[in-house]
A = this chain, B = another copy of it.
């Protein structure tokens, strides 16, 4: 019923795209290789040529996720001008936006992070913006000195935690912005080197 040529042409990309949609709409546990193949219009064995097993597809999905997250963080950072606090708020908001919009994907990104080396690297690239941010803050004296990653981790953890609370439904989505703003203010006050 289709005049699709024997070779799909870019099956791998098509599978990933469809998988990302399914994950967003119905979660990771509902993602089936066979259903994916059906939706894309290939036989149930075809995906195997591109992903040895289900986990490999999930890993690829996670890697693409880090790619996109990195882009969005960078964009938010750049868009905010030179002011440190503005950049901080913009970047934090961007992270939370991603985390709540693609909660299942983020979960995947965090979960898969143990295994693949390429994932490690993708994650580090995505988070490099945060490190830059912290370094600027320290240079301007808005943040206490010290290892940038140590200070950054506390900020990162807070933002990540807020996203988790909203995602889990423990906090309503409407309170997201308020909460992020609170946390950022908190962070800035708590980080300023004691007067």
Show the binding face of A for B, using Cβ within 8 Å: 29, 107, 110-111, 113-114, 123, 150, 153-154, 156-162, 164-165, 167-171, 178-179, 182-183, 185-191, 194
Contact = CB atoms under 8 A, between A and B. Distances in A.
B113 A169 contact: yes
Contact of A150 (B153, B159, B165, B182): B182
A157 B183 contact: yes
Nearest to A146: B182
Contact of A161 (B114, B123, B164, B169): B164
B168 A183 contact: no
A190 B186 contact: yes
Given A154-B182, A190-B191, 18 more contacts: A29-B29, A113-B168, A114-B169, A150-B178, A153-B162, A153-B171, A153-B179, A154-B179, A156-B161, A156-B165, A157-B161, A157-B179, A158-B161, A158-B183, A160-B165, A161-B162, A189-B194, A190-B190
Contact of A170 (B123, B159, B168): B123
Contacts of A187: 186, 190
The quantity of this chain's copies bound in the complex is 2
Nearest to A103: B111
A185 to B, nearest CB: 8
A43 B155 CA distance: 50
A179 B151 CA distance: 9
Nearest to A195: B195
